[in-house]
């Protein structure tokens, strides 16, 4: 679920920009209901919605993800290196692709990671 920090941030941005929540949602390309549900923590926000919000507000997407609580359980940050040189090589190539191609690849990677995550958890618990 989205965090109180995200709601506070969005409301602060609205205040600074002289926008209502409805005005912010429309300017960011979101429906008013989506923004309302996002900040009222009625459901886990989608990356798409958070990215739209971050892009409009001119802040790093990762910052908004952090506020929304999506990165809490991850060792995420520039100081965390990729240990596999193949990942470094392909991520560098992917980073140069158009945004729609990167989004497609990220969605595929997410699906693969989500698929294998439960299997890895089961394997870890069976070896304990």
Report domain extents, the chain: 4-67, 85-127
Of residues 76 and 59, more confidence is placed in 59
Question: Is the per-residue pLDDT at 3 higher than 70?
Answer: yes
Predicted local confidence at residue 12, as pLDDT: 92
Whole-number pLDDT of residue 122: 46
Identify which of 21-30, 57-66, 84-93 has the greatest average pLDDT: 21-30
pLDDT at 125: 46
Beta-carbon contacts of residue 59 (< 8 Å; ≥ 6 apart): none
Entry pTM = 0.56
Residue 66 has pLDDT above 80, yes or no: yes
pLDDT single digits (tens) 67-126: 888 776 555 556 667 777 888 788 888 888 888 988 899 889 888 877 887 654 444 444
CATH superfamily, region 4-67: lambda repressor-like DNA-binding domains (1.10.260.40)
């Amino acid at each position: 679920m989205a965090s109180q920090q995200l709601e506070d941030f969005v409301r602060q941005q609205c205040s600074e920009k002289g926008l209502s929540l409805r005005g912010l949602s429309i300017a960011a390309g979101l429906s008013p209901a989506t923004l309302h549900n996002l900040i009222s923590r009625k459901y886990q926000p989608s990356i798409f919605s958070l990215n739209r919000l971050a892009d409009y507000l001119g802040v790093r997407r990762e910052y908004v993800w952090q506020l929304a609580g999506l990165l809490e359980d991850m060792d995420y940050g520039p100081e965390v290196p990729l240990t596999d040189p193949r990942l470094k090589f392909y991520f560098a190539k992917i980073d140069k692709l158009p945004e729609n191609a990167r989004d497609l690849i990220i969605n595929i990677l997410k699906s693969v990671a989500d698929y294998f995550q439960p299997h890895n958890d089961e394997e870890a618990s069976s070896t304990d």
